Amino acid sequence: MSLLTIDGLRAGYGAGDVLKDVSLHVDEGECIAVLGANGAGKTSLLRAISGLMARSAGALAFGGQALPAEPCRVAARGIAHVPEGRGTIPGLSVEENLLVGAYLQKDKKQIRRDVDEAFARFPVLQRYRRRQAVQLSGGEQQMLAISRALMSHPRLLLLDEPSFGLAPKIVSAVYGALQGVLQERRIAVVLVEQSAELAMRAARRAYVLKHGKVAGTGNAAEMLHSDELRQMYLGRDAERA
Ligand SMILES: Nc1ncnc2c1ncn2[C@@H]1O[C@H](COP(=O)(O)OP(=O)(O)OP(=O)(O)O)[C@@H](O)[C@H]1O
Ligand SMILES: [Mg+2]
C-alpha cells in the first residue's frame, strides 16, 4: 500500500521552480532511492516533502491524507528528515541530541528504551554520550543524526546523502545498521545518494531526477545490473555527480 504519494510537485526558492514536475510513490516499509547529478533537485525534493521548502503545486498524500505544508505538522504525522550535512545540534551532547529527537514522545520509559536502543545499535554513541555533537567524527555524527530521527518512531525517513564524506568502512557500518532498523521496524525510506551503486543496493526501486523532473524509474536491482538501464538513466550525469 502506498504510504506517500506525490503527484505533479512543483517547488522553488522564489525565483522559479527548482522542482518542475515530480511524481512518485513510496509504499509502506519500502526504501526508494532518489538519484541524480548535482543540482538535479534531490535535496529540494526532501525539503519540499518535509515542508522546509514551499510547494507551489502538486498533491501530496501521506497515509491516505493530504500532507500538511508546515514542518512541525509533517513531523507530527511521522516523517523524519535527516538533512544534508547531518542534522545534529553541535552544542548539545550526544544524549541531549537523542532526547531532542523524542520531543513528541510523552512516555518517559519509552524514551529511555529508545535511547538504549540507539546506544545498542551504535555503541560509540554510548561511549561518547556526554560529548558535544560537534566533537564527534563525521561518521559518528551521521550515526547520531539517524538515531535522533529514529527517536520519533517515524513511518517515513528522509535521508539526504548519509554516506557523504565518510570513509568506506564507516559507510558500511551506517548502512548495515540502517538496514537492520528498517527491517525490524518496517520504516519506509526516501534515500538520496550521490553513489548510485550504494543507494540501489539498499533500495527496492529508484527514481532518477534530472533538472527537477523524474527522468526515469525502475527496480533498483535491475537498474544496478543492466548496463543499458544504467547508461540510460544514470549516464554521464551520475558519474559527474
Ligand atoms: N537556497 C537556495 N536558493 C536558491 N536556489 C537554490 C537553493 N538551494 C538550491 N538551489 C538550487 O536548486 C537546484 C537544486 O538544488 P538541490 O540542492 O535540490 O540539488 P541536489 O540534487 O540536492 O544537488 P547535490 O547533489 O549537489 O546535493 C540547484 O540549481 C540549486 O542551485
Ligand atoms: Mg543535495
What percent of the chain is predicted at pLDDT more than 70?
95
Band of pLDDT at residue 235, cut at 50, 70 and 90: low
pLDDT, residue 232, reads 64
Question: What angle (nearest 5°) sits at the alpha carbon of residue 98, between those of residues 190 and 160?
Answer: 25
Q: Is 77 inside any structural domain?
A: yes
Nearest to 209 by CA among 29, 6, 2: 6
The per-residue pLDDT of the chain, averaged, comes to: 91
Ligand 1 pocket test: pick from 9, 10, 13 the residue with the most ligand atoms within 8 Å of its Cβ: 13
Is the pLDDT reported for residue 226 higher than 80?
no
Q: List CB contacts of 89: < 8 A, sequence separation 6 or more.
A: 96, 97, 100, 133
Higher-pLDDT residue of 63, 239: 63
Q: Is 38 inside any structural domain?
A: yes
Least confident of 165-169, 194-198, 202-206, 236-240: 236-240
Q: Which domain range does residue 61 map to?
A: 2-85+154-240
Quote the radius of gyration of the chain (alpha carbons, Å): 17
10 Å CB burial of residue 230 (0-12, 13-18, 19+) is middle
Residue 147 CB–ligand 1 contact under 6 Å: no
Cβ neighbour number for residue 6 with a 10 Å cutoff: 23
Residues with CB under 5 A from ligand 2 (ion): 42-43
Tell me: the pLDDT tens digits for 79-94?
A: 999 998 878 999 999 9
Residue 44 CB–ligand 1 contact under 6 Å: yes
Q: Is 112 inside any structural domain?
A: no
CATH number for 224: 3.40.50.300
State how many domains the chain has. Answer: 1
